[in-house]
Structure 1
Amino acid sequence: MPSIFITGAATGIGRAVAERFLAAGWTVGAYDINPVTWSGAVHTGLLDVRSADSWAAALADFHAVAGRIDVVDNNAGVIVDGPVAAADPAALQRLIDVNCLGVTLGARASYRYLRGGGTLVNMASASAIYGQPGIAAYSASKFYVAGLTEALGLEWRKENIRVVDVWPLWAKTSLAEVEAVSVRRLGVRLTPEQVADVVWTAATARGRWARGKVHYGVSALDKALYLGRSLAPDRVARLLTRVLAG
């Protein structure tokens, strides 16, 4: 049966993705820096996404159980809110290490398993539509994820590896427990299960047209914001972001 390896799977969106694929009969590897204890039906293990050695060991461990890895879901991420000028340097370093280095090391380690038809799903964010004040470092890290997704989609095309990402607005997880203005103005409306459904759609796309899609929105609002940003001049996009998030 097909299999998926998921990072950050102890809670939140990662857990919801694991449950979604488990319900569809997939072999699921749920890995996290914290123990995954919510189900005995998934294969679990510890993973520090900041470590290349940890990635290599975790993927090899799951491959030994599943016999194949069809999808890797680069889901793990952290957030820092508040003004950058007042941020703890150690917290910023951790954010960049998890959200940028961790995603990159995950892609690098997954390459050998996904060659020939696999899919890498990276967790981006609607905060990558335009840089978000109050969560500037987090927002910038998701721009990185989007750029990495696009570049690897081209770099790995001849290896028949699809690389896609998912761009949700705020979902009902601990990541949304911040003081960002956009949380108050836009609300926290998405559930982890809604995001997991889009991960499922992205990972199981069939047909040349569907498989050519790279960036996946989740709600009607984030899709509209993404489309609007692609059409709007910078001055208009900046003004809209000030209204929604500034």
Structure 2
Amino acid sequence: MTTNFSLAGRKALVTGAARGIGAGIAKALADAGAAVMIGDVLAELSRDTAQTLSAGGATVRFTPLDVTSDDSWSAAVAATVSEFGGFDILVNNAGIEISALVTEVKADDLRRMFDVNVVGTLLGMKHALREMRPGGSAGKGGSVLNISSVAATIAFPAISGYSASKSAVDRATRIAAVESGKLGYGVRVNCLYPGLVPTDMGMKLAADIVACGLAATIEEAVGDVIGQTPLGRLGEVTDMADAAVFMCSDAARFITGIGLPVDGGMGT
């Protein structure tokens, strides 16, 4: 039965989808009926992920994508349109996190985070809006979903640079949504604020908290996060993936320019 949550016939590009939350989102979109292109710099792992997801009957492909490169974005979007015959969902998931106390931040680390998390997201929106708007190569409107973070809404120690970059993603999302609406692009633009998920990236943060002297053990660091979360647990990849499907579906057809917390109440 077709529902408003179905993505049948949709064509999606998900960045940073070789593993972790991105791979979970790619799977959920495919399970909901979308054809999904994985865009990532991790070519071998991305191919493995695409093959695994395709084995269940889904349409999942891989294209190389360095989100910091305009030319790479042009090629990845062109590959998506060529492979699937359209493009109407972009999930800007690619991101990096480098922990440091404010007294220890390094300029190169900050630049790298902003290059991937902010520049990468803005370039993604640029190319998606150009192709999805009337006159573009896809031209049927669509949905852009940027992955921000609960770090954009709370003051959590050791991630000042990351928090700043994810706050920038939130602001850019809202501006793009207003521009898209006012200019008649037919593209909704939103973001998610995921809470801590025990992926490789999430557990590295816990280890970094210990290294910064803010917790004695990884277990204590994780326990502190759980203690700040009203639902009393860490997030799961499927929590984020299901929210992504909702935001990209017609069930969210009158939602644009928002940040949706998927954080168990941590940012409340």
Q: Same fold by TM-score, threshold 0.5 exceeded?
A: yes
CA RMSD of aligned residues (A): 1.8
Greater mean alpha carbon deviation, residues 109-118 or residues 5-14 = 109-118
Name the residue aligned to 2:165. 141
CA distance in 2, matches of 1:183, 1:129: 19
1:23 equivalenced with 2:31 (yes/no): yes
Alignment partner, residue 43 of structure 1? 61
* Separation in 2, partners of 1:123, 1:106: 12
Q: Does 2:194 correspond to 1:168?
A: yes
Q: Which deviations, in whole Å up to 9, do the C-alpha atoms of 1:219-243 show, x marking residues without a partner?
A: 4314xx34xxxxxxxxxxxxxxxxx
Whole-angstrom CA distance in 1 between matches of 2:252 and 2:124: 26
Q: 2:22 aligns with which of 7, 14, 18?
A: 14
Q: Distance in 1 between matches of 2:244 and 2:257?
A: 13
Question: How far apart are residue 213 of structure 1 and its match?
Answer: 6.6
1:114 corresponds to 2:114: no
Cα deviation digits, residues 184-214 of structure 1 (max 9, x gap): 4113711111101100111114366x52572
- Give 1:125 deviation, angstroms: 0.6
Q: Distance in 2 between matches of 1:39 and 1:161?
A: 26
SS of residue in 1 equivalent to 2:50: coil
Amino acid in the other structure paired with 1:133: P
Q: Percent identity?
A: 29
Structure 2 Cα separation of the partners of residues 3 and 168 of structure 1: 23
Are residue 55 (structure 1) and residue 94 (structure 2) matched? no
Structure 2 unmatched ranges of 5 or more: 1-8, 55-59, 134-139, 215-220, 227-232
Tell me, in whole angstroms, the C-alpha distance in 1 between the residues paired with 2:104 and 2:178.
38
Q: Output the TM-score relative to the length of structure 1.
A: 0.85
2:102 maps to 1:94: no
Distance (whole Å) between structure 1 residues aligned to residue 101 and residue 222 of structure 2: 15
Cα displacement (A) at 1:138: 0.2
Q: 1:34 aligns with which of 37, 42, 57?
A: 42
Q: Does the Cα contact within 8 Å between 2:21 and 2:199 map onto a contact in 1?
A: yes
Q: Which runs of 4+ in 1 moved over 4 A?
A: 181-184
User: Which runs of no fewer than 5 residues in structure 1 stay unpaired?
Assistant: 227-246
| Whole-angstrom distance in 2 between the partners of 1:207 and 1:15 | 22
Change (3 A) 1:207 1:141: closer
Query: Residues of 2 paired with 1:159 and 1:220: CA distance?
Result: 33
